[in-house]
Amino acid sequence: MVIKQQSDNSKFKLNLILKITQAINENLSVDELLLQYKQILFDELKIGKIAVYKFSSRWEKLLVSGISKECIDKIKIEKHLCSISEITYISRDLPEVFWSFDFIIPVFHKNSVLAYILIGDIDEEMEGMSPAIRHLSFIQTISNIIIVAMENKRLYKQLLIQEAFKKEMELASKIQNLLIPNQSSLPQNQYISTCGYYQPHFEIGGDYYDFINFNDQELGFCIGDVSGKGIPAALIMSNFQATLRALFRPETPLDKLMVQLNQKVNDNSSSEKFLTFFIGIYNYTTRKLKYVNASHHPPLLYNFESGEITVLKKGCIGLGMLDEIPAITVGEITIDEHSKLLCYTDGLIELERDDQMEIGAQFLTNMFATQKSISDTFKDLIHHIEIGKKNKAVIDDISLFGIEFKTTQM
């Protein structure tokens, strides 16, 4: 007779486990799984009270039944439960907030407590062994199955979101790379040779350089850096590029252009975002360069004959720093024959080294002030950047734009 009862009991519990696993395989929602779990505990196992707390990014109540809200509100997870690491009988030695229950069952996942199940019998006299005691081991088993299934659903959903985000970022990166000129599209003619390099710190970034061939005699070019990194900076910069392309014309005075750009930046970005920016127009025939430096790291101009370095720093405050730019100075310089110009963003000189050194402004000046062509100079600079990437020393977006002004052939 006892053997038959045990057999029936085992069959009964196996059927319940089968019911749960079928529900999981049918990919029922978390709410539906919880409903089945509650029905099994209350209807099949005759448990009278239950509270389920689960941790994902934070602790939350998943299920409360058979107990007053007043009792539940007194339980503070971190204070009362997080020190419990095994099935615990609730005696009067434990805090009073637990006294309405009989047992605390921790649920583990990968050696960490994922959930706490509090169960209790109905508050009335009963004959024989209480359901909470009789089914304790089984309740632990089905609780583990249900809670781990919920966690796996959460992790799978999180993985899908991450994969979707990754694909979106890859697409955004491809789009942004289309906005940045590649080496094959940069101007190369009898007057100049140019080089460019773009390396965002993340998939996308807030650096930007560009050029516009206005006509056979004039070249417009620029480089900029939005404060911050990642998606917010990239969105501002892509918007800024579109604005610049619409407004940048050789007949528009640079000081007027800067006023227009400052207004657009203020209109399209939050108050804490701003751009440092350098823009110039070079005339091949007159060899004159007009420029404005809006708080950007001053480009370096090196003369091959004299070996002198000139920094281009005339201009104004950064775009978006104030509602109105107080003063704008347009720089103008005649480029000596056979010179080279380097425009760069601050990620280059903030490149940290393993020995705590940085590629600072003086180091960069020494690397640039050589008789090497602009293409060979870029190879040296990119080599140092690649070393920094391998050593995880790159801490910001990096962009470079260089021009070599050729000797006029008579």
pLDDT value of position 123: 62
Residue 134: left if φ>0, alpha if ψ -120 to 50, beta else—which one?
A: alpha
Q: Say whether both 151 and 216 belong to one domain.
A: no
Domain boundary among 107, 127, 158: 158
Whether 66 and 120 share a structural domain: yes
In a domain, 98, yes or no: yes
173 located within any domain? no
- Is 38 within 8 Å of 52 (Cβ atoms)? no
Q: What does the angle CA 334 – CA 193 – CA 220 come to, to the nearest 5 degrees?
A: 60
Closest of 280, 256, 409 to residue 333, by C-alpha? 280
Integer Rg of the chain from CA: 34
Question: What's the token pair of residue 125?
Answer: 């006299």
- Residue 184: φ, ψ to 5°: -70, -20
Residue 200 and residue 144 share a domain: no
Does residue 391 share a domain with residue 353? yes
186 and 124 inside one domain: no
Dist. CA 41–CA 118, nearest whole Å: 12
Choose the final residue of a domain: 158, 192, 211.
158
The answer as to whether 214 is a domain residue is yes
The predicted pLDDT at position 2 comes to: 46
Task: Write out the chain's pLDDT in tens, 410 residues.
Answer: 545 555 666 787 788 888 888 878 888 888 888 888 888 888 888 888 899 999 888 888 888 988 888 888 888 888 888 888 899 998 888 888 888 899 999 988 778 889 999 998 876 555 556 788 888 888 888 888 888 888 888 888 888 888 877 776 666 666 666 677 877 889 899 999 999 988 876 666 778 899 999 999 999 999 998 887 777 777 888 888 889 999 999 999 999 999 999 999 888 776 667 899 999 999 999 999 999 999 999 999 999 999 999 999 999 999 999 999 999 999 999 999 899 999 998 877 666 555 444 566 787 888 899 999 999 999 988 887 775 555 565 566 788 899 999 986 54
CATH of the domain at 138: 3.30.450.40
Same domain, yes or no: 37 and 132: yes
Inside any domain, residue 12? yes
What is the rounded CA–CA span in Å between residue 180 and residue 197? Answer: 9
Residue 163 lies in a domain: no
Cα–Cα dist 234/89, whole Å: 56
Domain range enclosing 106: 1-158
Pair (131, 184) in one structural domain: no
Question: Are residue 151 and residue 202 in the same domain, yes or no?
Answer: no
Specify the number of domains making up the chain. Answer: 2
Residues 120 and 213 in one domain: no
Closest by Cα among 200, 219, 228 to 394: 200
Q: Which CATH number goes with the domain that contains 231?
A: 3.60.40.10
Residue 410's pLDDT is 43
Determine the pLDDT at residue 355: 47
Are 292 and 337 part of one and the same domain?
A: yes
Report if residue 193 sits inside a domain. yes
For the entire predicted model, the pTM comes to 0.66
Query: Do 147 and 93 fall into the same domain?
Result: yes
Q: Looking at the domain assignment, is residue 169 inside a domain?
A: no
Token pair 């339980």 is at which residue?
A: 75
Same domain for 311 and 191: yes
Asked if the structure places residue 174 within a domain, the reply is: no
